[in-house]
Structure 1
Amino acid sequence: MTSVLRPMEWAYPVAPVEREVLTAKPAENEADRQRPPVLFVPGLGHGAWAFAARWLEHAASRGFPAYAMSLRGHGGSASAPRTTLRAYTHDVTQVAARLPRQAVLVGHGTGALAVARTLARYPARAGVLVCPVFGGPGTALTALRRNPAGTLPALFGGRLRLRRGQLFGRELASASAREFAAQVKVPSAPLAQWQLLAGPAIEDPVGDPPVLVVGSPDDRVVPRGALERAARRYGGAPLLFPGMGHDVMLDARWQEPIDAILDWLDKSL
């Protein structure tokens, strides 16, 4: 169900921040002008750089105007006190609303949660949820089991720390894995982390856009069962890429999922 009235938005508006948005434009021709813009939204600890490294220019080379943003407190975006999941959703909605045409929203990890919540507020052409972290007790238990040292401090308001082995598959060269992992910096956002662990509500999308769930059965952050539940929510099955880690957009075979996503968009829109 989608809410029409949102009294919290009026009574307690989200604090504005400067947001980082990176852009890659396709070569101009008549066919490309008909394609919708694609907005990439990274999750906790990742900024626009995580998509600019590989997927941003590749999407543009396939004819899609491509944009990658950083949520507040991430990448080149400004931080704000008492950041909440509502603030992350606000960031995505505001950036999407400023794009030249109705956009496709692609979110990764907790960025996929922000996209799922934005779909209830913004009439997107389509949504793509990549390795979505939707939160709830199951998320906390999985994180504690697979990364206890990095997760336990987050339960008490500290910073979540993600291990390199969680983010990438074994095929990615060690030097590249170290380089990318060094850029992953989770900001201090205890309210958002606690809300995530509590299991935030997700409303139905407005306008019934097509929604695709993408992931890996070998993801050490999001179990396969969670991928299947997320896909069922939108009436489908997840598109899986074995052997890849959580950060499929940076892993060794990064081109496979983005090409599959863009092929799906070409068929669905």
Structure 2
Amino acid sequence: MTGIRLVRQREWAFPPAPVRREVLSATPTGAADAPPVLFVAGFGQGAWVFAEHWLERTAERGFPAYAMSLRGHGESGPAAKATLRAYVHDVTQVAASLPRQAVLVGHGASALVVAMALARYPARAAVLVAPVFGGVGAAFSALGRAPLGTVPALFGRPLRLRRGLLLSREVPAADARRYAARRRGGASGRAQWQLVAHRAPEEPVGNPPVLVVGSPDDRIAGRALAAVAHRYGGAPLLFPGMGHDLMLDARWQEPIDAILDWLDKPGQ
């Protein structure tokens, strides 16, 4: 139990405000013995990014599949002053509402949110997709790669990243424009600042297996993949040639099938 906090007095006394949460789902055909998989969309994105391909693919493979939008994102309720703690609360509340112990899958900055939620929710397993764990170094790197999209975020405005940082050149331009048009809402300025300066996530409850997935060509998270995977005692599962948004890229099927293959292994 070392490193695990059992009592969180501040969180008990001052819980985040309730908010409407968008949760999409896909149900396998026939009885499903597999654990439910909860996908958590990253900052500036909503549950739709998983509903595009990964949600149905997960259900086809026999896993009850769910995708959620954090507060202030997608079709979830607005939350202009949300904190990382509020996002963690959203994930743990949705996970706890599922019929069985869930696998948590977080993308981008929501990989950090999922990592923080693992200290509060006893997940069956977790997958961190293109994880953005933040920090001062990552912030300066983002400024160098995308100054026009990153500088407004320093003043509380939404983070805006160009197509070349999110998707590979294999994605048709029409699809990329359609995806860009669907992005609405985003992380609060407060949460964006907390992403730069936050404590390391606490140890997961129950020591669940954790898989890190990403692309070495991801210009947002690629450099950090090995470090995040090392934190959880493994090596990253890499998909060269893909962008940050693996679930929307042209070869989207490769990473989700690899994730589901990993979950199918005995002991996961």
Same fold by TM (over 0.5)? Answer: yes
RMSD value, Cα: 1.1
The residue aligned with 2:79 is 80
Cα distance in structure 2, aligned partners of 1:254 and 1:175 = 17
TM-fit CA distance, 1:159: 1.9
Greater Cα shift, 182-191 or 208-217? 182-191
Cα distance in structure 2, aligned partners of 1:147 and 1:186 = 19
The residue aligned with 2:17 is 15
- AA partner of residue 6 (structure 1): R
- AA partner of residue 194 (structure 1): W
Does the aligned pair in 2 maintain the 1:136–1:200 contact within 8 Å? no
Cα distance in structure 2, aligned partners of 1:38 and 1:55 = 11
Runs of 4+ aligned residues of structure 1 deviating over 2 Å after TM superposition are: 184-188
TM-fit CA distance, 1:10: 1.9
Q: Output the TM-score relative to the length of structure 1.
A: 0.96
Q: What CA deviation, in whole Å up to 9, does each residue of 1:190-243 have, x standing for no partner?
A: 11011001134301100010000000001011133x110100000000000000
- AA partner of residue 228 (structure 1): A
Does the aligned pair in 1 maintain the 2:44–2:187 contact within 8 Å? no
Q: What CA deviation, in whole Å up to 9, does each residue of 1:142-198 have, x standing for no partner?
A: 110110011011112222111111100111111111111222235361110110011
The residue aligned with 1:25 is 27
The residue aligned with 2:149 is 150
- AA partner of residue 27 (structure 2): K
Cα distance in structure 1, aligned partners of 2:177 and 2:205 = 40
SS in 1 for 2:24: strand
The residue aligned with 2:65 is 66
Q: How does 1:169-208 map to 2 (within 5 A)?
A: 169-187=168-186, 189-208=188-207
TM-fit CA distance, 1:70: 0.6
Does the aligned pair in 2 maintain the 1:42–1:108 contact within 8 Å? yes
The residue aligned with 2:116 is 117
- AA partner of residue 19 (structure 2): V
The residue aligned with 1:38 is 37
- AA partner of residue 235 (structure 2): A
The residue aligned with 1:228 is 226
Q: Number of matched residues? A: 265
SS in 2 for 1:56: helix
Gaps spanning 5+ residues in structure 1: where? none
Residue of 256, 261, 264 corresponding to 2:262: 264
Does the aligned pair in 1 maintain the 2:35–2:100 contact within 8 Å? yes
TM-fit CA distance, 1:107: 0.5
Q: Matched residues, percent identical?
A: 68
- AA partner of residue 180 (structure 2): A
Q: What CA deviation, in whole Å up to 9, does each residue of 1:46-90 have, x standing for no partner?
A: 100000000000000000000000100111100124100000000
The residue aligned with 2:236 is 238
Greater Cα shift, 235-244 or 170-179? 170-179
SS in 2 for 1:212: strand
Q: What CA deviation, in whole Å up to 9, does each residue of 1:9-41 have, x standing for no partner?
A: 023210000101001000113xxx210000000
Q: What CA deviation, in whole Å up to 9, does each residue of 1:106-155 have, x standing for no partner?
A: 01001111110111100000000000111111220111011001101111
Gaps spanning 5+ residues in structure 2: where? none
Cα distance in structure 1, aligned partners of 2:40 and 2:161 = 18
- AA partner of residue 241 (structure 1): F
- AA partner of residue 153 (structure 1): P
